Homo-oligomer: A and B are copies of this chain.
Amino acid sequence: MKSVQVFAPATVANVVCGYDILGFAVDAPGDEVTMRLTSTPGIRISKITGDDGRLPLDPAKNTVSASVQHYLNALGQPSLGIDIELHKKMPIGSGLGSSSASTVAGLFAINTLLDNPLTTMDLVPFAMKGEELACGHGHADNVAPALLGGFVLIRSYEPLDIIKLPFPEDMCVAIVYPEVDVPTRDARQIIRSKVQLKDAVTQWGNVAGLVSGLFMKDYALIGRSMVDVLVEPARSILIPDFYQLRELALAQGGIGFGISGSGPSVFALTKDPETAKRITNTLQQHLQKIGIRSLSFVSSVNQQGPVVIG
Protein backbone atom coordinates (compact mmCIF):
# COMPACT_ATOMS: atom_id res chain seq x y z
CA MET A 1 0.00 0.00 0.00
CA LYS A 2 0.94 3.63 -0.50
CA SER A 3 3.17 5.11 2.20
CA VAL A 4 5.07 8.32 2.92
CA GLN A 5 7.65 9.54 5.41
CA VAL A 6 7.46 13.18 6.53
CA PHE A 7 9.71 15.44 8.61
CA ALA A 8 8.19 18.44 10.41
CA PRO A 9 10.22 21.07 12.23
CA ALA A 10 10.42 22.21 15.83
CA THR A 11 9.22 25.75 16.44
CA VAL A 12 9.88 28.67 18.73
CA ALA A 13 6.57 30.26 19.75
CA ASN A 14 6.07 33.82 21.09
CA VAL A 15 9.53 35.05 20.00
CA VAL A 16 9.74 36.91 23.32
CA CYS A 17 7.28 39.79 22.86
CA GLY A 18 4.70 38.13 20.58
CA TYR A 19 2.83 36.00 23.09
CA ASP A 20 0.32 33.76 21.27
CA ILE A 21 0.75 35.53 17.91
CA LEU A 22 4.32 34.91 16.67
CA GLY A 23 6.43 31.84 16.03
CA PHE A 24 9.11 30.51 13.72
CA ALA A 25 10.33 27.11 12.59
CA VAL A 26 13.89 25.75 12.78
CA ASP A 27 15.62 23.26 10.50
CA ALA A 28 16.53 21.02 13.42
CA PRO A 29 15.32 19.35 15.51
CA GLY A 30 11.98 17.97 14.31
CA ASP A 31 9.84 14.85 14.26
CA GLU A 32 9.19 12.18 11.65
CA VAL A 33 6.01 10.34 10.78
CA THR A 34 5.78 7.31 8.50
CA MET A 35 2.21 6.81 7.31
CA ARG A 36 0.76 3.94 5.31
CA LEU A 37 -2.70 3.45 3.84
CA THR A 38 -4.04 0.04 4.89
CA SER A 39 -7.06 -2.07 4.05
CA THR A 40 -8.14 -2.29 7.71
CA PRO A 41 -10.55 0.60 8.48
CA GLY A 42 -9.49 3.11 11.11
CA ILE A 43 -6.29 4.68 12.37
CA ARG A 44 -3.69 2.60 14.14
CA ILE A 45 -0.44 3.76 15.74
CA SER A 46 1.91 0.84 15.23
CA LYS A 47 5.06 2.35 16.68
CA ILE A 48 6.38 5.35 18.58
CA THR A 49 10.11 5.76 19.08
CA GLY A 50 12.12 8.35 21.00
CA ASP A 51 9.43 9.12 23.58
CA ASP A 52 10.57 6.81 26.40
CA GLY A 53 7.08 5.36 26.41
CA ARG A 54 5.47 8.69 27.39
CA LEU A 55 3.09 9.14 24.44
CA PRO A 56 -0.24 7.26 24.11
CA LEU A 57 -0.63 4.61 21.42
CA ASP A 58 -4.42 4.96 21.72
CA PRO A 59 -5.45 6.74 18.48
CA ALA A 60 -8.10 8.79 20.32
CA LYS A 61 -5.54 10.17 22.77
CA ASN A 62 -2.52 10.67 20.55
CA THR A 63 -2.43 14.13 18.98
CA VAL A 64 -1.14 12.85 15.64
CA SER A 65 -3.89 10.31 15.08
CA ALA A 66 -6.57 12.52 16.65
CA SER A 67 -5.83 15.41 14.29
CA VAL A 68 -5.59 13.06 11.29
CA GLN A 69 -9.00 11.70 12.31
CA HIS A 70 -10.41 15.28 12.35
CA TYR A 71 -8.96 15.76 8.88
CA LEU A 72 -10.49 12.52 7.58
CA ASN A 73 -13.87 13.36 9.10
CA ALA A 74 -13.83 16.73 7.36
CA LEU A 75 -12.98 15.07 4.06
CA GLY A 76 -15.82 12.56 4.46
CA GLN A 77 -13.49 9.57 4.78
CA PRO A 78 -13.72 8.86 8.53
CA SER A 79 -12.93 5.14 8.27
CA LEU A 80 -9.91 5.23 6.00
CA GLY A 81 -7.36 2.61 7.04
CA ILE A 82 -4.11 4.21 8.21
CA ASP A 83 -1.01 3.00 9.98
CA ILE A 84 1.17 5.56 11.72
CA GLU A 85 4.73 5.32 12.98
CA LEU A 86 5.88 8.32 14.99
CA HIS A 87 9.58 8.93 15.48
CA LYS A 88 10.23 11.60 18.09
CA LYS A 89 13.55 13.24 17.33
CA MET A 90 13.22 16.03 19.85
CA PRO A 91 12.54 16.25 23.58
CA ILE A 92 8.93 16.23 24.77
CA GLY A 93 7.77 19.10 27.01
CA SER A 94 10.77 21.20 26.10
CA GLY A 95 8.92 24.27 24.77
CA LEU A 96 9.99 23.57 21.20
CA GLY A 97 6.59 22.61 19.81
CA SER A 98 7.17 18.89 20.12
CA SER A 99 3.50 17.92 19.85
CA SER A 100 3.04 20.40 16.99
CA ALA A 101 5.90 18.90 15.01
CA SER A 102 4.37 15.42 15.31
CA THR A 103 0.86 16.61 14.51
CA VAL A 104 2.02 18.63 11.52
CA ALA A 105 4.08 15.71 10.19
CA GLY A 106 1.00 13.50 10.46
CA LEU A 107 -1.34 15.95 8.74
CA PHE A 108 1.17 16.67 6.00
CA ALA A 109 1.59 12.92 5.51
CA ILE A 110 -2.13 12.15 5.16
CA ASN A 111 -2.65 15.16 2.88
CA THR A 112 0.25 13.95 0.71
CA LEU A 113 -1.09 10.39 0.62
CA LEU A 114 -4.47 11.71 -0.56
CA ASP A 115 -2.79 13.88 -3.26
CA ASN A 116 -3.16 17.20 -1.41
CA PRO A 117 -6.90 17.89 -1.36
CA LEU A 118 -6.15 20.73 1.09
CA THR A 119 -3.54 23.49 1.00
CA THR A 120 -0.95 23.62 3.76
CA MET A 121 -2.70 26.72 5.14
CA ASP A 122 -5.95 24.73 5.27
CA LEU A 123 -4.27 22.20 7.55
CA VAL A 124 -3.73 24.76 10.34
CA PRO A 125 -7.15 24.36 12.02
CA PHE A 126 -6.73 20.56 12.12
CA ALA A 127 -3.31 20.94 13.71
CA MET A 128 -4.82 23.33 16.25
CA LYS A 129 -7.25 20.57 17.25
CA GLY A 130 -4.20 18.44 18.03
CA GLU A 131 -2.76 21.24 20.17
CA GLU A 132 -5.98 21.45 22.11
CA LEU A 133 -5.63 17.77 22.99
CA ALA A 134 -1.92 18.12 23.83
CA CYS A 135 -1.99 21.18 26.06
CA GLY A 136 -5.59 22.21 26.65
CA HIS A 137 -5.42 25.28 24.41
CA GLY A 138 -5.80 25.32 20.63
CA HIS A 139 -3.14 27.89 19.91
CA ALA A 140 -1.47 28.22 16.53
CA ASP A 141 1.90 29.80 17.30
CA ASN A 142 3.66 26.43 17.02
CA VAL A 143 1.56 24.61 14.43
CA ALA A 144 1.36 27.50 11.96
CA PRO A 145 5.14 27.99 11.64
CA ALA A 146 5.66 24.20 11.69
CA LEU A 147 3.28 23.94 8.72
CA LEU A 148 4.30 27.05 6.80
CA GLY A 149 7.97 27.41 7.73
CA GLY A 150 9.71 30.68 8.51
CA PHE A 151 8.29 33.39 10.74
CA VAL A 152 4.53 33.41 11.08
CA LEU A 153 2.09 35.94 12.52
CA ILE A 154 -1.31 34.82 13.78
CA ARG A 155 -3.06 38.17 13.50
CA SER A 156 -6.39 36.80 14.65
CA TYR A 157 -7.80 33.53 15.93
CA GLU A 158 -11.44 34.28 15.12
CA PRO A 159 -11.44 34.28 12.18
CA LEU A 160 -8.08 32.58 11.80
CA ASP A 161 -5.76 34.98 9.94
CA ILE A 162 -2.19 33.85 9.40
CA ILE A 163 0.52 35.92 7.69
CA LYS A 164 3.98 34.74 6.67
CA LEU A 165 6.65 37.27 7.58
CA PRO A 166 10.01 37.71 5.89
CA PHE A 167 13.25 37.41 7.87
CA PRO A 168 16.99 37.86 7.24
CA GLU A 169 18.08 34.78 5.23
CA ASP A 170 21.25 34.24 7.26
CA MET A 171 19.48 34.26 10.62
CA CYS A 172 20.44 31.40 12.94
CA VAL A 173 19.08 30.11 16.20
CA ALA A 174 20.80 28.80 19.30
CA ILE A 175 18.54 26.63 21.46
CA VAL A 176 19.33 25.22 24.87
CA TYR A 177 16.95 22.89 26.66
CA PRO A 178 17.65 22.71 30.38
CA GLU A 179 16.23 19.37 31.46
CA VAL A 180 13.75 20.64 34.02
CA ASP A 181 10.04 20.01 33.85
CA VAL A 182 7.69 22.88 32.81
CA PRO A 183 4.36 21.54 31.54
CA THR A 184 2.68 24.00 29.17
CA ARG A 185 -0.55 23.88 31.18
CA ASP A 186 1.25 25.04 34.35
CA ALA A 187 3.31 27.61 32.46
CA ARG A 188 0.10 29.20 31.17
CA GLN A 189 -1.48 29.22 34.61
CA ILE A 190 1.20 31.38 36.22
CA ILE A 191 0.47 34.21 33.80
CA ARG A 192 -1.83 36.88 35.18
CA SER A 193 -5.12 37.32 33.33
CA LYS A 194 -5.10 41.10 33.85
CA VAL A 195 -2.25 43.39 32.92
CA GLN A 196 -1.49 47.10 33.16
CA LEU A 197 -2.45 48.97 29.98
CA LYS A 198 0.90 50.77 30.07
CA ASP A 199 2.72 47.42 30.03
CA ALA A 200 0.51 46.24 27.17
CA VAL A 201 1.47 49.40 25.25
CA THR A 202 5.15 48.64 25.87
CA GLN A 203 4.55 45.10 24.63
CA TRP A 204 2.78 46.07 21.40
CA GLY A 205 5.45 48.68 20.73
CA ASN A 206 7.95 45.83 20.82
CA VAL A 207 5.71 43.55 18.73
CA ALA A 208 5.50 46.31 16.10
CA GLY A 209 9.26 46.81 16.33
CA LEU A 210 9.99 43.11 15.91
CA VAL A 211 7.69 42.80 12.89
CA SER A 212 9.24 45.96 11.37
CA GLY A 213 12.73 44.59 12.05
CA LEU A 214 11.87 41.34 10.26
CA PHE A 215 10.56 43.23 7.21
CA MET A 216 13.54 45.61 7.22
CA LYS A 217 16.00 42.76 7.95
CA ASP A 218 17.36 45.04 10.65
CA TYR A 219 19.05 42.84 13.26
CA ALA A 220 19.53 45.70 15.73
CA LEU A 221 15.83 46.56 15.66
CA ILE A 222 14.86 42.88 15.94
CA GLY A 223 17.14 42.54 18.94
CA ARG A 224 16.01 45.60 20.88
CA SER A 225 12.36 44.67 20.24
CA MET A 226 12.83 41.23 21.83
CA VAL A 227 11.69 42.41 25.24
CA ASP A 228 8.72 40.93 27.09
CA VAL A 229 7.42 42.87 30.09
CA LEU A 230 4.30 40.74 30.60
CA VAL A 231 4.88 37.02 30.30
CA GLU A 232 8.63 36.47 30.69
CA PRO A 233 8.83 37.91 34.23
CA ALA A 234 6.41 35.19 35.39
CA ARG A 235 7.67 32.31 33.28
CA SER A 236 11.37 32.95 33.80
CA ILE A 237 11.15 31.84 37.42
CA LEU A 238 10.64 28.28 36.16
CA ILE A 239 13.97 28.34 34.30
CA PRO A 240 17.20 28.00 36.28
CA ASP A 241 19.34 31.16 36.17
CA PHE A 242 17.27 32.61 33.33
CA TYR A 243 18.64 36.15 33.56
CA GLN A 244 22.25 34.97 33.81
CA LEU A 245 21.66 32.83 30.71
CA ARG A 246 20.27 35.87 28.95
CA GLU A 247 23.25 37.99 29.89
CA LEU A 248 25.67 35.29 28.73
CA ALA A 249 23.86 34.81 25.40
CA LEU A 250 23.84 38.54 24.62
CA ALA A 251 27.47 38.93 25.71
CA GLN A 252 28.39 36.16 23.23
CA GLY A 253 26.79 38.08 20.36
CA GLY A 254 23.15 37.00 20.48
CA ILE A 255 20.76 39.43 18.75
CA GLY A 256 18.02 38.68 21.25
CA PHE A 257 17.26 36.02 23.82
CA GLY A 258 14.21 34.56 25.48
CA ILE A 259 12.04 31.63 26.40
CA SER A 260 10.95 29.32 23.61
CA GLY A 261 7.18 28.93 23.90
CA SER A 262 6.35 28.16 27.52
CA GLY A 263 9.89 26.90 28.19
CA PRO A 264 12.03 25.57 29.67
CA SER A 265 14.02 25.81 26.43
CA VAL A 266 15.66 29.17 25.82
CA PHE A 267 16.80 30.50 22.48
CA ALA A 268 18.92 33.24 20.98
CA LEU A 269 18.78 34.62 17.47
CA THR A 270 22.15 35.16 15.83
CA LYS A 271 23.58 36.35 12.52
CA ASP A 272 25.63 33.19 11.93
CA PRO A 273 25.97 29.58 13.10
CA GLU A 274 29.35 30.18 14.79
CA THR A 275 27.84 32.70 17.19
CA ALA A 276 24.94 30.33 17.84
CA LYS A 277 27.37 27.51 18.62
CA ARG A 278 29.37 29.76 20.96
CA ILE A 279 26.16 30.66 22.78
CA THR A 280 24.98 27.06 23.24
CA ASN A 281 28.44 26.11 24.55
CA THR A 282 28.48 28.98 27.03
CA LEU A 283 24.95 28.37 28.28
CA GLN A 284 25.45 24.62 28.59
CA GLN A 285 28.66 25.17 30.55
CA HIS A 286 26.81 27.48 32.92
CA LEU A 287 23.97 25.01 33.38
CA GLN A 288 26.45 22.19 34.02
CA LYS A 289 28.12 24.29 36.72
CA ILE A 290 24.81 24.61 38.56
CA GLY A 291 24.06 20.90 38.12
CA ILE A 292 21.44 21.09 35.34
CA ARG A 293 21.71 18.69 32.40
CA SER A 294 20.88 20.23 29.05
CA LEU A 295 20.57 19.60 25.34
CA SER A 296 21.37 22.12 22.63
CA PHE A 297 20.58 22.76 18.98
CA VAL A 298 22.06 25.14 16.46
CA SER A 299 19.95 25.70 13.37
CA SER A 300 19.03 28.05 10.60
CA VAL A 301 15.44 29.29 10.40
CA ASN A 302 13.37 26.72 8.51
CA GLN A 303 12.08 28.05 5.20
CA GLN A 304 9.61 25.46 4.02
CA GLY A 305 7.80 23.63 6.83
CA PRO A 306 7.25 19.88 6.56
CA VAL A 307 8.95 17.85 3.81
CA VAL A 308 8.52 14.36 2.40
CA ILE A 309 11.73 12.49 3.19
CA GLY A 310 10.78 9.02 1.96
Contacts and interface: CB of A to CB of B under 8 A. Distances in A.
A163 interface: yes
B205 A155 contact: yes
B204 A203 contact: yes
Contact of A165 (B20, B195, B205, B212): B212
Nearest to A156: B205
Given A155-B206, A211-B208, A201 B19 contact: yes
Interface in A223-282: 224-225, 230
Interface residues of A, number: 39
A204 B221 CA distance: 18
Interface in A1-36: 17-22
A119 interface: no
Contacts of A206: 155-156
A209 interface: yes
A196 interface: yes
A200 interface: yes
A193 B195 CA distance: 9
A204 B199 CA distance: 12
Nearest to A206: B155
A209 B163 contact: yes
A114 interface: no
B209 A198 contact: no
A54 interface: no
28 contacts: A19-B201, A21-B204, A21-B205, A153-B205, A153-B208, A153-B209, A154-B205, A155-B224, A155-B225, A156-B206, A161-B209, A161-B224, A163-B209, A163-B212, A165-B212, A192-B197, A193-B196, A193-B198, A194-B194, A194-B195, A194-B197, A195-B196, A200-B200, A200-B230, A207-B207, A211-B211, A211-B215, A212-B215
Counting from the closest, the 10 A-B pairs by CB-CB distance are A155-B209, A204-B204, A215-B215, A200-B200, A204-B207, A21-B205, A211-B211, A155-B205, A20-B201, A208-B211
Given A19-B201, A153-B209, A156-B224, 20 more contacts: A20-B201, A21-B201, A153-B205, A153-B212, A154-B205, A155-B206, A155-B212, A155-B225, A156-B202, A193-B197, A194-B196, A194-B197, A195-B197, A200-B200, A204-B207, A207-B207, A208-B208, A208-B211, A211-B215, A212-B215
